[in-house]
Amino acid sequence: MMHQTPVCRQIILLGAGRVAQHLGPALWRAGHRVTHIWSRTAEAAQALADAVPGAVPTTSLALHSLPTPDLYILSVPDGAVAQVLAAATLPPRALVVHTAGALPLAVFEAWPAVRGGVLYPLQTFSAGRLIDWSTVPLCVEAAQPADQTLLLEVAQSLSQLVETVATPQRQALHVAAVFACNFTNHLFGVGYALMQQAGLPFTLLEPLIRETVQKALAQPPFTVQTGPAARHDTATLERHQALLHQHPTWLAIYNQLTASIQEQQTVGAPNNHGRLSL
Amino acid sequence: MMHQTPVCRQIILLGAGRVAQHLGPALWRAGHRVTHIWSRTAEAAQALADAVPGAVPTTSLALHSLPTPDLYILSVPDGAVAQVLAAATLPPRALVVHTAGALPLAVFEAWPAVRGGVLYPLQTFSAGRLIDWSTVPLCVEAAQPADQTLLLEVAQSLSQLVETVATPQRQALHVAAVFACNFTNHLFGVGYALMQQAGLPFTLLEPLIRETVQKALAQPPFTVQTGPAARHDTATLERHQALLHQHPTWLAIYNQLTASIQEQQTVGAPNNHGRLSL
């Protein structure tokens, strides 16, 4: 599953949250050495170090006193990146990367002694779910060409899907991912709640959800849009709006998305209207 | 793939649109006889009859002049169901079912001589895509118990996933399906457009989309919600809002869904917050 590692890198991992919990063991399995794992709390640092052979837990940001690694990976909440950089004493010219989709590379500009970079895994990480890293797209960016090469090597040791993505593209990608992942999950949740209210199992929707995804991945999604909004089926839209009157927020979503689907038909590519079950 | 057919039914199919185009051949493969296919246009009736061995195309609604079948399947746009019923001359006590998710069984009450029923395939049908009918949930409803039995038999000859679903449940199911399918497809479309604008392939989002779906089908979706809305990451939300300023409709969707995710956290089950890549 893993690629051959060209070089075993020494890495210090800063952070012990969800991304770090998935990344630390994956780096070890890919042949690297995670020498230290920092977290604000000793418990979190210890728990993750237990899952990464050879890693020493620490709560100290006096990083200059540790052997200098090839790479520091800063996997903390977006808002904490600058805080950790400000609190840490790093050796000069340290290579530090963050793992955030929305944070610009320029976040490192306030620390001119740091060589900044980004290693953004485009996946949703939850506790208790195993992730196959070989299929996680990794977006790499670095201020300096040599660092870019090193990061690409590390990324390729983890995954088959490695892309060099500059900050503006990565930020657009992150917004796209919010629509395609976070928001669709919320809509699945609304569907789940509506099914539950009707006493029906959510799994009844599974074939439909799977076909929707297959179709969206096979053709531009706007061109295969179906449903009452797409076919301007006013009677059905009104029936649905009446059914949603107990859920004003979901009704607002219903109306917003219905309007957007119909607007898209007027500005977008020709749609294949037709009689559809949905 | 198909179940054994207990009884070969004689069926007249009214309609030649997307659902009828998928249903007609599936009924034949399941061992039934589609004796006639009606459509408003001779071309549409002929085209579908060509795909269903033994079927005779017709544009006449003088149905009393044809041999009486076990079942008429009315697969036309929701708004046309009543029109076709009004225009048709049916033999007395004919069993007629529609295939719409949102139409009540009571639509047949204006025709007391008709035995009404529903055979609703919960799937999205597009031209050129093959559908495995054995995994299409079929929702069955009938006014009379004997008709219910007949419809369940026909449904079970097509699919392994047959449910008796009364009108209110079916209508709730239909709204849920619009959220989980039509609306998610639109969000995939927005994601696709944003990726295209950034010069990135939509396929980069494929592992994330697949994991999102796997996760939503494994656990109640609201409990595995991730992303900047769920973690109240104001800096990222503001960055995304700024990026969407050229797309006011998508920005409105962004704000609406962000608000709904955060509202759900206050009313819903405990959420597993945490540091997540998205």
**Residues of chain B contacting residue A120, judged by C-beta atoms under 8 Å apart:** 277
User: B71-74 and B56-58 as β-strands: parallel, antiparallel, unpaired?
Assistant: unpaired
When divided into structural domains, chain A yields a total of 2
Residue (of A13, A162, A126) closest to B216 by Cα position = A126
Residue of chain B with shortest Cα separation from A131: B211
Q: Are residues A219 and A136 in the same domain?
A: no
Domain final residue, candidates B139, B165, B191? B165
Can you give the CATH number for the domain in which B255 is found? 1.10.1040.20
The whole-angstrom separation of Cα A2 and Cα B214 is 23
Residue A262 belongs to a domain: yes
Domain final residue, candidates A136, A165, A194? A165
Question: What is B180-234 written as a DSSP string?
Answer: IIIIHHHHHHHHHHHHHHTT--GGGGHHHHHHHHHHHHHS-GGGG--STTTTT-H
- pLDDT tens digits for range A21-64: 999 999 999 999 999 999 999 999 999 999 999 999 999 999 99
Residue A35 belongs to a domain: yes
Residue B32 belongs to a domain: yes
Q: Are residues B60 and B90 in the same domain?
A: yes
Mean pLDDT along residues A96-105: 95
Q: Are residues B178 and B263 in the same domain?
A: yes
**Residues of chain B contacting residue A235, judged by C-beta atoms under 8 Å apart:** 78-79, 102
The whole-angstrom separation of Cα B142 and Cα B151 is 8
| Residue B152 CB partners (closer than 8 Å, separation 6+) | B140, B162, B164
What is the ipTM metric for this complex? Answer: 0.87
Q: At CB < 8 A and 24+ separation, what contacts does B255-259 make?
A: B256/A252, B256/A253, B256/A256, B257/A183, B257/A186, B257/A253, B257/B229, B258/B228, B258/B229, B259/A249
The CB-side HSE value for A209 (13 A sphere, CA atoms) comes to 24
End-to-end CA distance of chain A: 40
Q: Identify the pLDDT of residue A278.
A: 42
Are the beta carbons of A52 and A32 closer than 8 angstroms?
Answer: no
**Residues of chain A contacting residue B200, judged by C-beta atoms under 8 Å apart:** 163, 165, 169, 172-173, 176
**Residues of chain A contacting residue B267, judged by C-beta atoms under 8 Å apart:** none
Are the beta carbons of A94 and A66 closer than 8 angstroms?
Answer: no
Hey, of A13, A81, A140, A184, which one would you mutate to test binding to chain B, going by the most B CBs within 10 A of its CB? Answer: A184
Residue B5 belongs to a domain: no
Which residue reads 């060589």 in tokens?
A115
Q: Identify the pLDDT of residue A83.
A: 96
Q: Identify the pLDDT of residue A276.
A: 33
- pLDDT tens digits for range A154-198: 999 999 999 999 999 999 999 999 999 999 999 999 999 999 999
Q: Are residues A158 and A189 in the same domain?
A: no
Taking an 8 Å cut-off on Cβ atoms, the answer to whether A225 and B249 are in contact is no
Q: Work out the minimum CA distance from B112 to partner chain A, whole angstroms.
A: 23
Of B129, B135, B235, the CB nearest to A215: B129
- pLDDT tens digits for range A136-147: 999 999 999 999
Residue B188 belongs to a domain: yes
The whole-angstrom separation of Cα B156 and Cα B5 is 8
Q: Are residues B150 and B206 in the same domain?
A: no
The whole-angstrom separation of Cα A79 and Cα A237 is 42
- Positions in chain B short of pLDDT 50: 1-3, 5, 269-278
The whole-angstrom separation of Cα B250 and Cα B236 is 16
Q: Are residues B50 and B182 in the same domain?
A: no
Residue A2 belongs to a domain: no
Q: Which residues pair with B73 in a beta bridge?
A: B13, B97
Q: Which two tokens stand for residue A200?
A: 């029906």
Q: Are residues B218 and B98 in the same domain?
A: no
Angle at B151 between CA B146 and CA B152, to 5 degrees: 95
The whole-angstrom separation of Cα B9 and Cα B67 is 13
The whole-angstrom separation of Cα B145 and Cα A226 is 33
Q: Are residues A243 and A198 in the same domain?
A: yes
Q: Are residues B29 and B159 in the same domain?
A: yes
The whole-angstrom separation of Cα B191 and Cα B187 is 6
Q: Are residues A156 and A200 in the same domain?
A: no
Q: Identify the pLDDT of residue B275.
A: 32
Of A124, A192, A199, the CB nearest to B211: A124
Q: Identify the pLDDT of residue B246.
A: 94
Query: What CA dihedral angle connects A70, A75, A78 and A82, to 10 degrees?
Result: -40
Are the beta carbons of B114 and B98 closer than 8 angstroms?
Answer: no
User: B138-142 and B115-121 as β-strands: parallel, antiparallel, unpaired?
Assistant: antiparallel
Q: Identify the pLDDT of residue A122.
A: 94
Are the beta carbons of A195 and B173 closer than 8 angstroms?
Answer: yes
Domain final residue, candidates B165, B194, B222? B165
- pLDDT tens digits for range A190-248: 999 999 999 999 999 999 999 999 999 999 999 999 999 999 999 999 999 999 999 99
The whole-angstrom separation of Cα B79 and Cα B175 is 17
Q: Are residues A146 and A220 in the same domain?
A: no
Domain containing A99 equals: 10-165
Q: Are residues B114 and B252 in the same domain?
A: no
Residue B4 belongs to a domain: no
Q: In whole numbers, what is the pLDDT of chain A averaged over residues?
A: 92
pLDDT band at A271 (very low <50, low <70, confident <90, very high): very low
Taking an 8 Å cut-off on Cβ atoms, the answer to whether B205 and A122 are in contact is yes
The whole-angstrom separation of Cα B131 and Cα B127 is 10
Residues in chain A: 278
Residue A41 belongs to a domain: yes
**Residues of chain A contacting residue B76, judged by C-beta atoms under 8 Å apart:** 275
User: B95-98 and A95-98 as β-strands: parallel, antiparallel, unpaired?
Assistant: unpaired
Q: Identify the pLDDT of residue A6.
A: 65
Q: Identify the pLDDT of residue A272.
A: 40
Q: Which amino acid is at B176?
A: A
Can you give the CATH number for the domain in which A19 is found? 3.40.50.720
Q: Which residues pair with A6 in a beta bridge?
A: none
The CB-side HSE value for A238 (13 A sphere, CA atoms) comes to 5
Q: What are phi and psi of B269, to 5 degrees?
A: -65, 160
